[in-house]
Amino acid sequence: MIRFRGLSPGLLIASITPFKRHGQVIGYVANLGLGGDGKRRRQFFKQRDRAEQFINEHVRTTFDPLHGRRNEVLFSLERVDRIGVSLNEVVEFYVLHGAKKFNPPLTGAINQFLEHKRLIGRGRHHLDRMGVVLNQLAKFIGDTTKVGDITTDQIRRFVYVGHSDTSPVSKVNLLTNLSVFFNFCIQQDLSSFNPVRKIERPVVKFHPPHTILPEHFSTLLNHCLKMGWTDRLTLFVLVGFCGIRMEEASKLKWSDISFENQTVLVPADVAKKNGFG
C-alpha cells in the first residue's frame, strides 16, 4: 500500500489488489482512489510489476509536487548557489520577513519618505540633508532599482567606496540616515528588511574637546573686527557668549535677535531636533 501526504482523503491511498477467479490469482488491480469526479479509479493488469509501474508513473505524473516544476527548482538552485546559500535558507528568510506588499522604485520610495517627514513637521534643513543622501544613493545604484531589492553589499559599497574620502564620523551619520529611511520603508510595507542593519560602523577615534582661553578668544574677535569680517564676528559672538551651535548660528536671521530684550530665538526649523532655543 502506498500513501501520499498533502492530498484529499479520497486520494491518500494507492494499492494493488490480487484479482482471483476460482480461488486462483489471474491478475492485479491497481487502485488509485477517488478522482476529482468522485469515481473510483482502478485498472487491471495480468502482471504485478505492470500494476506497480502504472501506479508509480501515475503518482509521479499527478501527485509528485516536483513533476512539472523540475526546471523551476533547478533554476532556483542555480541562483542560490551563486550567492552561497541554500534553498532552505531562502525559504526561511522569506518566512521570517514576509513578502513585500509593494516594491516601488527607489525614487518613488524616497519621495514618499520625504513627503511623510514634511507632513509630520520635520524641518527644512533635515529634509534637505536626507534628500541629498538619498539622491546620492539613487545615483550610485540606479534610481529605477526596486527599494526592496537593495542589498547590504550595495549599501556598504555606497558608504565605504562611494564616500571613501569622508571621515568616519560622516560615514556613521550616513549609515544612520540610511537606516532611518529603510526602517520607514519597512513600516510602510515598501520593503521587508533593512540592508543597513548588518553593516559594521567605522571606528571613530575619541578626540578630547578643544578649548580656547578668554584672552585668545578676545584676540580672535578683535582680529575679525579689524579685518571687517562682521559675519564671522557675529557667529563667534553667538557661539561664544550665547552657547548656540555653529550650524544653528549660521542659519539665524537678524529678526531672530532681540537687542532690546537681549535674547536670541532659535526657530524650530533651525534648532537641532526641531526644538525652540
Residue 32: Cβ within 10 Å count: 21
Give the relative orientation of helices 152-160 and 124-141 as an angle to the nearest 10 degrees: 110
Least confident of 25-29, 33-37, 178-182, 192-196: 33-37
Q: pLDDT, tens digit, for every residue of 7-49? A: 444 444 567 888 888 888 888 888 877 666 667 778 888 888 8
H-type helices in the chain, by residue range?
A: 48-62, 70-82, 87-97, 106-119, 124-141, 152-160, 168-187, 214-227, 230-242, 246-249
User: Which three three-digit cell numbers place residue 123?
Assistant: 524641518
Contact yes or no for 134/182 (Cβ under 8 A):
no
Give the relative orientation of helices 168-187 and 106-119 as an angle to the nearest 10 degrees: 90
Q: pLDDT, tens digit, for every residue of 244-264? A: 888 888 888 888 888 888 888
Interatomic CA distance for residues 16 and 24, integer angstroms: 16
**Residue ranges of the domains in the chain?**
2-62, 70-98, 106-187, 214-274
